[in-house]
Structure 1
Amino acid sequence: MSKKLNQLEATAVCGNDISSSCLYVSALAIVYSGQYAWIALLMVAGVLFFFRGIYGEVVGALPLNGGAYNALLNTTKKSTASLAASLTVLSYMATAVISASEAVKYMHSIWVVIPIIPMTIALLLIFMGLVILGIGESSKVAIAIFVFHLFSLSLLCGFSIYYFAHNGFDVLVANFNTPVKGGIMSALFLGFSAAMLGISGFESSANYVEEQKAGVFPKTLRNMWIVVTVFNPLIAFLALAIIPMPTVLEKQDALLSYLGSTSGGNWLSLLIGIDAALVLSGAVLTSFVGVGGLMKRMALDRILPKIMLKTNRRGSSYIIFVLFFALCSSILLVTRGDLAKLAGVYTIAFLSVMILFGVGNLLLKINRSRLPRPERSTWLGLIIAIISVIAAILGNIVLNPQYLAIFIEYLIPTLLVVFFMLYRVSIFKIFLLILEHLFPDKGILFQKLNAKTKSLLHRINDQQFVYFTNHDDVATLNKVMLYIKENEPTKRVKIVAVLGKNESVAKNLLKDVDVLNRAYPKIQMDFIEEPGSFTPEKIRELSQRWRIPTNFMFIGSPGDKFPYKIQELGEVRLII
């Protein structure tokens, strides 16, 4: 069994990403909100508070890797879930490349002989090696970076408060009297939209929840929220209290380093520079860990090729990490280190994932109301959170209209890969028809291509699926068959009733299965009465006996009296 992460380890892995936002989000908020930046950042913290409840409910009910993808997979169609997965992968790629590049630029500012692009690729390579070694090893590095980062920020805030206390209110008053372009409401809206980037990384913990110890996940959400709520508004306020507004705008690229040199001297500025390089490197680690959990789940569900599930002796899915490294390096080389394009991808992809997670929570409340969960988000908080993120996306498009076009350029190729896997049966069938027209003489080339395509189709359709029941009526079973037909390429389904002593199936069940067999002639349905109790052990036993992965086994949404937690059933999916 792989090592499970405790609270500090799990928080450090995702916390480096979200806490690295302190390095840029305060300056970004000041650029658009001026002296009201700290209010815009408090508004962001308020939205994040609502997302704590949203993530807590969804992942508490469905504590499986995959984040928004997992939430939507268990509440709606597989194609919708695949869109969320594609956006999340895009977000992680952009995060890894931007963070690695910015980390190296901070190193370059300290030691100018460092070559930016080669060193960025080297940094990506180092973290690929760490995650291949295992999440336990990489979490130790994450803890060291996270603790040092919190220490550096605390030191910076301490010196800034001391400087402010001894130098009076003159700078603060002057900054607060500066005219605001477009009015206070416009400034707050634009500042809020830009500052929403400061919560990127909050979604990461949900993508490796299976690697966390029981009860750790909600604590990671709380810890990340505290960091964002305390440091981001405080740093923005202290910058406005110490540094004149024109200087803030001039030094926005390295505002915290300048704040350090002003309040504490060159040594503090150097410390912040070193911290920035380290914590941005930590955000690269977060991307690797998050994408590993997500892409493994996608491969299990046949949205990505099965080869990605290969593991080394440490249980690490090394092919996923090598592929992710290759993609990130290629993007870096293609853009030649000019990451303005990726910023647009990163902004819209990340915020879209947040919206989809909110939609997942909405569908969970409606479609899976019986499913037990340790906490519930409020309807008001859910609606406010979704509307707020939609507003943030619109605000970012207003600020940078070109971001939308760039985002679509990157999204389309990603969706083509994912949706090819989803609809490959239909694509292969169309290909067979095209072959018939292209090769009417049915020569050797036709025979080879035809045989290979039919072999692939047979292999895909031969995958069996299981639905557990012992009391459902024909209407419910029809919903099951419709879901399978629309979402899973297969021609074989087992309807399984696990029966204890003196238990029997509902009288109508066998007749209903016969009715559905006639209604779906292309899908072979086998009804099986399995002796025993419906337990996690029974599911694993049947999975091994029939060679059907647990993520191809389905159940209806269990109620409060169900004796097991959903994560104890493995990757079993809820479909009704």
Structure 2
Amino acid sequence: MSTKKLSEWYATAICGNDITSSCLYVSALAIVAAGQYAWVALLMVAVVLFLFRKIYGEVVGALPLNGGAYNVLLNTTTKSNASIAACLTILSYMATAVISSSEAMHYLHHILPYFNVNIATFVLLLIFLELTILGISESAVVALVIFVFHLATMGLLIGSCFFFVWQHGFSILIDNFHLPARNGSILTAIFFGFSAAMLGISGFESSSNFVEEQERGVFAKTLRNMWIAVSVLNPMIAFLVICIIPISAVESHQNSFLSYIGTLTGGKWLATIISINAVSVLSGAVLTSFVGVNGLIKRMTLDRILPNYFLKENKRGSTYRILILFFLLCLSVLLVTRGQLAPLAAVYALSFLTVMASFALGNILLKLRRSRLPRPEYAKPGVVLLAFAAIIIALYGNIMTKPQYLVTFLQYFIPSVLIILAMLLRKDIMHFIVNLLQSLSKNYKKYTLTRQRSLYRSLKKLYEQDFVFFSKGDDIATLNKVMMYLHENEVTNKMKIVTVLKEQQQPDPKFLADFDTLDRAYPEVDMEYITILGNFTPELVEELSNKWGIPKNFMFISSPGEKFSYRVDELGGVRLIL
């Protein structure tokens, strides 16, 4: 079912609510860590984000498919490596959804202290579950309203701060700059401030997880808009804060920091508006998580990492089972932590930063392994390495500040990876269970035979999935790489190799000989060579997919060159493996 594509501001609002909600807390985090140099650390983060604009632009421009870091690693390396990036992204979204919804309800509790915060958090998650089930276009309207209100509120706060400084002068700023640097030196202060401030750009990766729902050309604009918003808001607010209050007062008001600044500069009415805005924009970050994780898990399910059960759509084209699963995961985390968010903060910090690092690595692999693939922009290798180094520094800084973060993160990360690996290795696990049942069959024959038949049916269904490789008349070495990729990453014993020929064109005899050699080398795989007259077009891919009942993400091509007439996304999810 076709759904309406998102225009620039709707798409920006969905991911922008997440990243711009950071100004509610990141200025305080940076000031606590870096003191009077927090605004410098936040400007450095803006520079790093500018580098990532190029990195994301190149990767998603070359491979404009849902999945973010998972997508680029899937098309440049193995499915297991891509799955690890997917685990990190899902953990980041889960932590963001629970933390943002809980913080939103804490802000609301300051205004209306008449309800239980944990129950209200559950209700908020349920509301956004229902909203996203209704469809992305409907939820985008809500996101845009929240986004505009947030930017207007931040503009009002900044204006109020400027007026306060104009009235009271720079005496507090001068006093703050006379204080000794935090952590012993200016460089150390900026280092820890930068590490803390990097958490304020969570959400930048979200746009790449629903790029297929965006109109063409919108993705790069969402990156630009998010970068401008973060580069202006966060450093400016941090600088104005150290003009208004002593640094020593920041830590004690960290939980509702901007509301406190609003009270000082504009009065209670401004603090109330900021609190209402905080509730709405943090709720918008919850929406970002639902939309982003939906695009990612849908892609993983199409790639047979997760069961096809999750692909069922409602009348509005929404994959509601994925959304319900994510809601249940968030709810379980809320129940396990009992609303204590410190453990989740560790998961949020490290998973987000490792997702950013995965994207930089994916960009490097794209340059090395898919160099022929057309891309609208190009990030220079030095830019990619500098951005990657910045992420590693931020990771190190966060772990150094709170070593327990790493332990907490691993407690969530390792089980999620084990679940995904079990899905990837389900063929071997099923074979092991069959062998185990056979060894027990003498004593428990009736029970084991039933289980064996069930497992054999599941294995048969797995192996019967056809795969397609569109060949341009490749040599045996290339075809062997295709078969090796198939053996290492997929479960099948059926492979169609298709060559599209012009009128009166005949297959190369050498290619036919190579195919026969390959067929003998892989006796367990039923290989079929098919020639088709015509042109290789998206329409042909669609036709063959429908005719053979093979999903397009089970069709492979080698990297196209600049002369190729179509973008990869126009082929509907056909995978690059060479």
TM-score by length of 1: 0.99
What is the match of residue 188 of structure 1?
Answer: 190
Equivalent in the alignment of 2:419? 417
Alignment of structure 1 residues 58-207 onto 2, 5 Å? 58-180=59-181, 181-207=183-209
5+ residue gaps, structure 1: none
- The 5 Å alignment of 1:169-318 reads 169-180=170-181, 181-318=183-320
Q: Give the stretch that moved more between structures: 437-446 or 80-89.
A: 437-446
Determine the C-alpha separation between the residues in 2 that align with 1:469 and 1:432. 37
Same amino acid, percent of matched pairs: 57
CA distance in 2, matches of 1:252, 1:340: 14
- Structure 1 counterpart of 2:485, which letter? Y
Aligned residue among 446, 466, 491 for 1:464: 466
CA distance in 1, matches of 2:215, 2:274: 33
Tell me, in whole angstroms, the C-alpha distance in 1 between the residues paired with 2:445 and 2:250. Answer: 73
SS in 2 for 1:493: strand
Hey, what's the Cα distance between the residues in 1 that align with 2:108 and 2:451?
A: 53
* Distance in 2, Cα, partners of 1:449 & 1:89: 33
Residue 470 of structure 1, CA deviation? 3.0
In 1, the alpha carbon distance for the partners of 2:112 and 2:393 equals 41
TM-score norm. by structure 2 comes to 0.99
**Alpha-carbon contact 1:40-1:188 (below 8 Å) kept:** yes
Write the distance in 1 (CA, Å) between the matches of 2:303 and 2:77.
15
Tell me how far 1:441 sits from its aligned partner: 4.6
CA distance in 2, matches of 1:470, 1:489: 24
In the other structure, the counterpart of 1:521 is 523
Deviation at 1:507, TM superposition (A): 2.3
* Equivalent residue number for residue 370 of structure 1: 372
Q: Which residue of 2 aligns with 1:31?
A: 32
- Asked if the contact 2:107/2:256 (under 8 Å) is kept, the reply is no
Could you say what secondary structure the match of 1:178 adopts? coil
How far apart are residue 209 of structure 1 and its match?
A: 0.3
1:476 alignment partner in structure 2: 478
Aligned equivalent of 1:341? 343
Regions of 4+ moved over 6 Å:
none
| Structure 2 match to 1:493 | 495
* 1:9-48 alignment, distance < 5 Å: 9-48=10-49
User: What letter is aligned with 2:184?
Assistant: G
Equivalent residues of 1:470, 1:509 under 8 A apart: no
Paired AA for residue 150 in structure 1: L
User: Are 1:539 and 2:562 an aligned pair?
Assistant: no
Give the Cα–Cα distance (whole angstroms) in 1 for the partners of residues 236 and 161 of structure 2.
10
TM-superposed CA distance for 1:506, in Å, is 2.2
Aligned partner of 1:439 in structure 2 is 441
Structure 2: stretches of 5+ with no match in the other structure = none
Distance 1:549 1:504 in 2: 28
Q: Is the 8 A contact 1:470 1:506 kept in 2?
A: no
Residue among 358, 364, 371 paired with 2:360: 358
- Per-residue CA deviations over 1:408-437 (Å, capped at 9, x if unaligned) read 111122112211111110111111121122
SS at match of 1:375: coil
Once the two structures are superposed, residues 473-499 of structure 1 have per-residue CA deviations (whole angstroms, 9 ceiling, x without a partner) of 000001110001000011000001112
Secondary structure of 1:316's aligned partner: coil
Partner letter of residue 166 of structure 1? Answer: Q
Residue by residue over 1:302-324, the C-alpha shift from the partner in whole angstroms, topping out at 9 and shown as x without a partner, is 11111000000010000000111
Distance 1:213 1:504 in 2: 40
Q: Distance in 2 between matches of 1:99 and 1:343?
A: 11
CA distance in 2, matches of 1:127, 1:509: 55
Tell me, yes or no, if the aligned pair for 2:357 and 2:392 is still in contact at 8 Å: yes
**Aligned residues of 1:470 and 1:505 also touching (Cα < 8 A):** no
Matched positions, count: 576
Q: Is this contact kept in 2: 1:103–1:276, CA < 8 A?
A: yes
Checking the alignment, whether the CA contact within 8 Å between 2:29 and 2:197 is kept in structure 1 is yes
Residue 504 of structure 1: CA displacement? 2.3
Give secondary structure in 1 for the equivalent of 2:487. helix
Equivalent residue letter for 1:105: H
CA distance in 2, matches of 1:538, 1:243: 66
Amino acid across the alignment from 1:23? L
Instruction: Tell me the secondary structure at the aligned position of residue 497 of structure 1.
Output: strand
8 Å CA contact 2:441, 2:449 repeated in 1: no
Distance in 2 (CA, whole Å) between partners of 1:512 and 1:33 is 64
In 2, are the aligned partners of 1:33 and 1:187 still within 8 Å (CA)? yes
Using the TM superposition, give the Cα deviation of residue 442 of structure 1 relative to its aligned residue in structure 2, in angstroms: 6.1
CA distance in 1, matches of 2:233, 2:163: 16
Indicate conservation of the 8 Å contact 2:45/2:194, yes or no.
yes
How far apart in 2 are the matches of 1:506 and 1:54?
A: 40
Distance in 2 between the 1:327 and 1:510 partners?
Answer: 51
Quote the offset at 1:186 in angstroms.
1.0
Secondary structure in 2 matching 1:465 = strand
Cα distance in 1 between the residues matched to 2:577 and 2:558: 6
Native 8 Å contact 1:25 1:232 kept in 2: yes
Q: Give the match's secondary structure for 1:508.
A: helix
C-alpha deviation, 1:253, in angstroms:
1.7
Are 1:203 and 1:354, in contact at CA under 8 Å, matched by a contact in 2?
yes
Matched residues in 1 for 2:221 and 2:115: separation? 38
SS in 1 for 2:566: coil
What amino acid sits opposite 1:211 in the alignment? E
Separation of aligned partners in 2, 1:143 and 1:94: 23
Task: Using the TM superposition, give the Cα deviation of residue 223 of structure 1 relative to its aligned residue in structure 2, in angstroms.
Answer: 0.2
Work out the CA distance in 2 between the residues paired with 1:206 and 1:114: 37
Find the residue that maps to 1:15 and give its secondary structure. helix
SS in 2 for 1:528: strand
Equivalent position SS for 1:366: helix
CA-to-partner distance for each residue in 1:54-102, whole Å, 9 max, x for gaps?
0000000000000000010001111000000011001100000000000
* Matched letter for residue 208 of structure 1: F
* Alpha-carbon distance in structure 1 between the residues aligned to 2:246 and 2:532: 75
